[in-house]
A = this chain, B = another copy of it.
Amino acid sequence: MTVAQDVPSAPTGDPAGAGTDGASTRERILDIALELFSSQGYDKTSLREIADRLGFTKAAIYYHFASKADILMALHLRLHEFGREALDAMGDDASPASWARLLDRLIDQMLQQRALFIFHERNRAAIEELHRSEHDAGHEDIQDRLRKVLSDGSVPAETRVHMACAIGAVVGALEFSGDVFGSIPDDQLGDILRGVVASLLTESSGG
């Protein structure tokens, strides 16, 4: 599969592919796909459905993407960009301090890009299948890197579990943020989550 297709994103010469709509067709496809993949799942969403929403036919999508999986990968890479940045703020060490630094960044990004994170959670099977079927040369997955850090045997078991719980807590809360926590402002939600992370990664916690 060709992830980055040699597609003329701006054949008319406009900078970011801003076409008739302000967003390139490619981006509009991704936006609709994100919405449908999140609500129905990747497999239950057909290319015809995506095309219908955009007002053209299935075949047109193939001008912008080499395959359906290519759309999935593009969305995955969108998320990956945010994750990579947060990961780079952390070293490779497994200290609670650096983990807290990672989550601090992640909380803000999740709240700003929550649709992307929720999509990612609801389609884990499809995305991991993607990683299996391709030889992701040089594409180190976020999940793998997190696992690597959490596997560090030199860190006490309790600490590592606390680290896993911290990220689980943030992700878990995010899933309710749309509807159940809809009335809580993002700022406040972020503050609460940072507090949770801090309490989980502090020596005295957990008994």
Contact = CB atoms under 8 A, between A and B. Distances in A.
A125 B193 CA distance: 26
Number of this chain's copies in the complex: 2
Contacts of A200: 169, 196, 199-200
A161 B184 contact: yes
A188 interface: yes
A168 interface: yes
Contacts of A125: 40-44, 122-123
A199 B205 contact: yes
B161 A192 contact: yes
Given A157-B184, A168-B169, 10 more contacts: A157-B192, A161-B193, A162-B196, A164-B173, A165-B169, A165-B193, A169-B172, A169-B200, A196-B200, A199-B200
